[in-house]
Amino acid sequence: MKPEEVKKIPLGLFPTPLQRMSNLERELGCGPLYIKRDDLSDLGLGGNKIRKLEYLVADAIQQGCNTLLTYGGPQTNHGRLTVAAAVRNGMKSILILHGAKPDYLSGNLVLDKMMGADLYFTEGDGEEQKALAQKVMAEYGARGDKVYEIPVGGSNVLGALGYLMMIPELMKQLDEMGASAKYLVTGSGSLGTFCGLWAGAKYFRAGFEVVPISVNPQTTFREEQAAAFIRQISDAYSLGITCDPGELKLQFGRGDVSYAGVAYNVPDAQTQEAMHLLARTEAIFVDPCYTGKSFHGFVDLAQNVFPKGSGAIYLHTGGIPAIWTKEHLDAAQPVLAAY
């Protein structure tokens, strides 16, 4: 089946806006710079997981499931949006969260609770998370529920279609604006967004290159895994494209400039600075876990690496609730006090 024929259900508000960032262009002295607002995809405060969930939840419903289960860190945005998708479709939701159960709920956890999610915490490794999920699924099954399991980040070939299919949406918007861009910069975690976009750009012959910024300096999701994932997408939906790891370059930083920061979801000063830059120039917010890092990479590449005059698009993937998590609020206090 071709990507255009795969069934999805409407969850978000699409197309998301494509906007020019003129104030940022003046501040940085380069451009043109655009932002694709997937933080404004509506449902459950929006974010990049909605495009993936439109395909995944369609499959869950098709299979007769009434409950969605997924995995992530305690502050997972993907978890929050999976819960939101369940609520919208009259389904139940279960999150298997990797970490200690916090005694003070903040950020996404507040929203997960408000929407009625069933939360389970484990500090164990992947095996233990799987075992916990099996146990919970068995309990739900015994009560007559049918659970649909979604991988971390919604990043399988079906979920990746969400971003593959964003490419024609974006190409049409650029066309309508009379704009052209050579680069599309996105944050990358579990690879679904980047690999979907990369495959889509090749399949639809987009005029821009997709540039992934890693949000985790210790990630095991590298070029090798990304290329294999792209080939899987191509095989599953007969795209007829190839991908070699040598064609991909996950960006972690440049010299002393670190886009990926010190670790996943650990606060750092360079990311904070990038967050403040976009807030003070465009009144658009990015977050300390994902988009502050990818936006930092976007700014550095636009100023120092992309050839002068080449248009660049920043994909805003959401994540705003991380601004108000306990760990990031604590870290931000001295920075904010110094203003």
Ligand X SMILES: *Cc1c(COP(=O)(O)O)cnc(C)c1O
Lookup: tokens for 287: 């977050």
Q: Which of 67, 108, 234, 291 binds ligand X (CB under 6 A)?
A: 291
- ω into 212 cis (within 30 of 0): no
CB of 214 to ligand X, least distance (A): 9
Shorter beta-carbon distance to ligand X: residue 140 or 317 = 317
Query: Is position 77 an interface residue for ligand X (rule: CB under 6 A)?
Result: yes
Q: Which of 183, 237, 290, 306 binds ligand X (CB under 6 A)?
A: 290
Residue pair 288/267 in contact (Cβ under 8 Å)? The answer is yes
Q: Which of 84, 191, 230, 299 binds ligand X (CB under 6 A)?
A: 191
CB of 294 to ligand X, least distance (A): 7
Shorter beta-carbon distance to ligand X: residue 3 or 187 = 187
Q: Which of 78, 92, 296, 328 binds ligand X (CB under 6 A)?
A: 78
Round to whole Å and give the CA distance between 128 and 96. 10
Which range, of 22-30, 126-134, 191-199, 230-238, touches ligand X by CB under 6 A? 191-199
Round to whole Å and give the CA distance between 217 and 271. 13
CB of 21 to ligand X, least distance (A): 18
Which range, of 11-19, 259-267, 270-278, 313-321, touches ligand X by CB under 6 A? 313-321
Q: Which of 19, 188, 216, 272 binds ligand X (CB under 6 A)?
A: 188
- Indicate the SS3 state at residue 147: strand
Spatial CB neighbours of 300, under 8 Å, sequence gap ≥ 6 = 254, 257, 259
Q: 309 — alpha (psi -120 to 50), left (phi > 0) or beta?
A: left
Q: Which of 48, 67, 214, 271 binds ligand X (CB under 6 A)?
A: 48
| Backbone phi, psi, residue 315, to 5° | -90, 110
Task: Find the DSSP H helices in 90-125.
Answer: 108-114
Query: Is position 271 an interface residue for ligand X (rule: CB under 6 A)?
Result: no
Sheet holding 18-20, edge to edge: 18-20, 33-37, 312-316, 183-188, 209-214
Query: Is position 187 an interface residue for ligand X (rule: CB under 6 A)?
Result: yes
Shorter beta-carbon distance to ligand X: residue 173 or 188 = 188
Q: Which of 318, 321, 325, 327 binds ligand X (CB under 6 A)?
A: 318
Shorter beta-carbon distance to ligand X: residue 31 or 297 = 297
Query: Is position 192 an interface residue for ligand X (rule: CB under 6 A)?
Result: yes
Query: Is position 79 an interface residue for ligand X (rule: CB under 6 A)?
Result: no
Q: Which of 12, 46, 261, 319 binds ligand X (CB under 6 A)?
A: 319
Query: Is position 190 an interface residue for ligand X (rule: CB under 6 A)?
Result: yes
| Backbone phi, psi, residue 107, to 5° | 55, -135
Residue pair 125/146 in contact (Cβ under 8 Å)? The answer is no
Q: From residue 325, give the alpha-carbon distance in Å to each of 85, 182, 289.
A: 22, 35, 10
Task: Find the DSSP H helices in 183-244.
Answer: 192-203, 223-236
Q: Which of 155, 156, 251, 258 binds ligand X (CB under 6 A)?
A: 155
Residue 201 C-beta-side C-alpha neighbours within 13 Å: 18
Interface residues with ligand X (CB under 6 A) are 47-48, 77-78, 153, 155, 187-194, 290-291, 317-319
